[in-house]
Amino acid sequence: MRRRGTDQVRRVLIVQTAYLGDVILATPLIRAAKTLWPEAEVDFLCIPQTAGLLEGHPLLSRLFVHDKRRALRGLADFLPTAFALRQRHYDVALVPHPSLRSALLVAFAGAAVRVGFDRNAGRWLYTHVVPYEKEKHEVERNLRLLDPFGGFPGPVRPELFPSEQDRLRVQQLLEGMPGDFVAVAPGSVWPTKRWLPEGFAQVCRWLAERHDLGCVLIGGVDDRELAERVAKLAGGAAVSLAGKLTPLQSAEVVRRARALVTNDTAPLHMASAVGTPVVAIFGPTVPEFGFGPYAVPNRIAQLDLSCRPCAPHGGKRCPLGTFACMRDLSAERVYDLVVQLLEEVKTEHGLA
């Protein structure tokens, strides 16, 4: 397909109904679509848990929220979303999410051109499919959805846009903190992706004792207990804001930080979106899956074990029962990587 002219594409829909990190990594499609079709309206469909990430995005015309858990109960919860989309008369639908439900939604919506990956369920419902290239970063994979229109030269980094209210809220919560701090994200939906609380706490203590850097723990409501445990173990070297922040406010904390130390989870991609250096800890997963840091200075903390990787998304328990990929990753190793990264960034900015 040749690239459609700006007068031929009036409305574009992007569908990503996965979780926070996946939505962040889909945001480059928003800017890329607006670059290809400057006069087009670009809409985004996501789930309630991720909608807050896209509030105030300056390039989005409409944000549709689809509760896919309710929609599983029957057509009564699926059809209202499909009919609402149909009223928009989309010229193009871009679908990075692999589910059959996403394919059905854009088919019901009647989008003239529907593009998904060749691995997607319901791929016969798309007018065009593109290869899902496992060796590429997810950002670059998603941009391949524009190949039927001539492709997009890129690169485009993820983007998030905390509001002035978000910035004021974060400023209020950070009052009394040292001027410089490191953000720390100890949680993950998947238990096997979580490095040990004792490790995070030790890194926080060393950063405070040796570098006069405070640590601010971030995460969702489900991470609150874990973050409070890390803060207690850190003995005053860290404060926890887990459960007190919206996703965009968490991104604002990451933006203000000297660096982020995180598991393989959504805050890693927040760092890519706001330009903060990141030390990413990988256990059962590996950066080669395409979900590592993107377009920011970074270090990867991981062990070379024959059993890694053991799962594409982590899991509830170690298949071998050892959890060696996390238990054997020392606090010294992670701390050294943080210091290396901070020194690299300092040198690049002429502060050495």
Check: pTM over 0.75? Answer yes or no: yes
Res 313: pLDDT? 85
The pLDDT > 70 percentage for the chain reads 94
pLDDT tens profile 307-326:
999 988 888 999 999 999 99
Residues of the chain with pLDDT under 50: 1-4, 6, 71, 352
Q: How far is CA 89 from CA 9, 113, 115, in A?
A: 11, 11, 16
Res 178: pLDDT? 64
Res 69: pLDDT? 64
Res 154: pLDDT? 75
Query: Does residue 187 contact residue 227 with C-beta atoms inside 8 Å?
Result: yes
C-alpha gyration radius of the chain: 21
What does the mean pLDDT of the chain come to? 93
pLDDT tens profile 35-51:
999 999 999 999 999 99
All structural domains of the chain:
11-149 (3.40.50.2000), 164-348 (3.40.50.2000)
Res 351: pLDDT? 54
Cis peptide before 98 (omega within 30 of 0): no
